[in-house]
Structure 1
């Protein structure tokens, strides 16, 4: 029998990931902060748990959620100031110290990197002023004191069904940096990469996960809005513009996993996203 995997946070990424892992033969548990969603998880064959790390008290029945060999952490930082994200992950770390979890896959973001005109690799400088919570969360999961091994996956901008990039900037005016490269990754590639890390047991690593191609902001977002029949955004160029912007490298991930992207070019991928989809919550 395959390993038990718990997916903490069955949202836009976590739910289809849990479904995919279930199809691969794993025993899968999933958590949600929404009581109404428990029935949905159960109907899909995912063992459902109501679990909110923002609460200082974790009810005893949720202890079974952490009775797994592998934990996938797929909860994004919130925008509010209450219950800071790093406090939630610190609470999670304490829970895991008393669990049988042997491996953790922590979903992070390429937003941890400091602005740079150079190609961004896993060794590039981090943004200790703008990404404090996420960097602190990564540090908790990577602590040398932890008895489990953690792999961090820093995803670029997520897109796919229910999250169409053309809606982000539709109709906006005077947008800066028209020539800056976009760094995006499709939902199906997110699931594929996480599945391969688990299958190949690539633990104790940090990976950037971003599509191969980096079209310019202007070309990409104008095409994305046209594809949805929405007003195109308008860009301006200034003398101070950083035309290079961030360029996220995926070379370490591709080499380590021998992974070929399903959607290597975001510009081509947006033409394949259903236009009437709604975001999974």
Structure 2
């Protein structure tokens, strides 16, 4: 499949640097934003900008023009509120229904939150996309996978760090923080962008990938170092409660893409130029 045009839905923390990278790789890139003033920012970076909002009466002409591409990257993290989470599913269905006949492939950004805490290592096949799944993201993965005549790949990212997301702020100053010995499942922005561009370049369609750094320090070690690096008060962990965790295995992604993480150890990358 010859890819000339890629539409990136959601040009925020991940989508914007991804779209920028794709422009440098020679693709024609369309980018969407829900902030009208951001259209100029996208234009300056060589990205064809689209302002998309999704009230029920929104004219679909701009959406359809945005979706006229060979590949669509859907990077719209749902809100934590139950109301907005339910509308997220409807929004995704609207987008998929409005797809262009030019569309051949979809890359859907999902999350490792689809896995329950099993107190062990977990793999892709242990969370299956389904219309009846209790997990919103698994139901959305299923929607994407069922689009006729379109192939898709799902990328389940772990905890996001890098750019303006420094994990030192996440738990600083908190007390009685649970799961001190539980492993962290983090991934740096640079690896997020690189992994997606490799999937697009290698045309790895029809896969579901876990995407987390291969080194998993404990929560206590990681968040203590992260807070100290910013000069903040480290969190105080509770060692009284039973640990509940999951350790995300990303071996399948590394094997299929022949990919080596730029930041394999989350603690070491805290002192990198990425922060």
Bin for the TM-score computed over the shorter chain: over 0.9
Unaligned 5+ runs, structure 1: 276-281
* Maintained 8 Å contact 1:114/1:127: no
In the TM superposition, what whole-angstrom CA distance separates every residue of 1:173-228 from its partner, at most 9, and x where no partner exists? Answer: 01011000000000000000000000101001000000010000000000000001
Return the alpha-carbon distance in structure 1 between the equivalents of residues 41 and 199 of structure 2. Answer: 27
Return the alpha-carbon distance in structure 1 between the equivalents of residues 252 and 274 of structure 2. Answer: 31
Partner in structure 1 of residue 78 of structure 2: 77
Match runs of 1:100-119 below 5 Å: 100-119=102-121
Q: 1:194 to 1:131 in 2, by over 3 A?
A: farther
Q: Secondary structure at the match of 1:10?
A: coil
Return the alpha-carbon distance in structure 1 between the equivalents of residues 77 and 157 of structure 2. Answer: 11
Return the alpha-carbon distance in structure 1 between the equivalents of residues 123 and 55 of structure 2. Answer: 32
* Maintained 8 Å contact 1:90/1:140: yes
* Maintained 8 Å contact 2:106/2:150: yes
Partner in structure 2 of residue 21 of structure 1: 22
Q: 1:122 to 1:215 in 2, by over 3 A?
A: same
More deviation, 189-198/75-84: 75-84
Return the alpha-carbon distance in structure 1 between the equivalents of residues 73 and 79 of structure 2. Answer: 18
Partner in structure 2 of residue 256 of structure 1: 256
Q: 1:33 to 1:182 in 2, by over 3 A?
A: same
Matched, 1:91 2:89: no
In the TM superposition, what whole-angstrom CA distance separates every residue of 1:24-62 from its partner, at most 9, and x where no partner exists? Answer: 111100000100100100111100001124545343133
Partner in structure 1 of residue 140 of structure 2: 137
Residue correspondences, number: 271
* Maintained 8 Å contact 1:161/1:273: no
More deviation, 44-53/157-166: 44-53
Partner in structure 2 of residue 247 of structure 1: 247
Match runs of 1:1-281 below 5 Å: 3-53=4-54, 55=56, 57-80=58-81, 81-82=83-84, 84-96=87-99, 98-125=100-127, 132-143=135-146, 145-242=147-244, 245-273=245-273
Return the alpha-carbon distance in structure 2 between the equivalents of residues 127 and 230 of structure 1. Answer: 40
* Maintained 8 Å contact 1:53/1:92: no
In the TM superposition, what whole-angstrom CA distance separates every residue of 1:118-172 from its partner, at most 9, and x where no partner exists? Answer: 21100114699996321111110011x5210010000001100100000000000
CA RMSD of aligned residues (A): 2.0
* Maintained 8 Å contact 1:119/1:248: yes
In the TM superposition, what whole-angstrom CA distance separates every residue of 1:66-100 from its partner, at most 9, and x where no partner exists? Answer: 1100000010001331462111111112112x431
More deviation, 110-119/42-51: 110-119
Return the alpha-carbon distance in structure 2 between the equivalents of residues 54 and 205 of structure 1. Answer: 32
Q: 1:218 to 1:54 in 2, by over 3 A?
A: farther
Return the alpha-carbon distance in structure 2 between the equivalents of residues 130 and 174 of structure 1. Answer: 32
Return the alpha-carbon distance in structure 2 between the equivalents of residues 142 and 115 of structure 1. Answer: 25
Q: 1:55 to 1:273 in 2, by over 3 A?
A: farther
Unaligned 5+ runs, structure 2: none
Q: 1:219 to 1:136 in 2, by over 3 A?
A: same
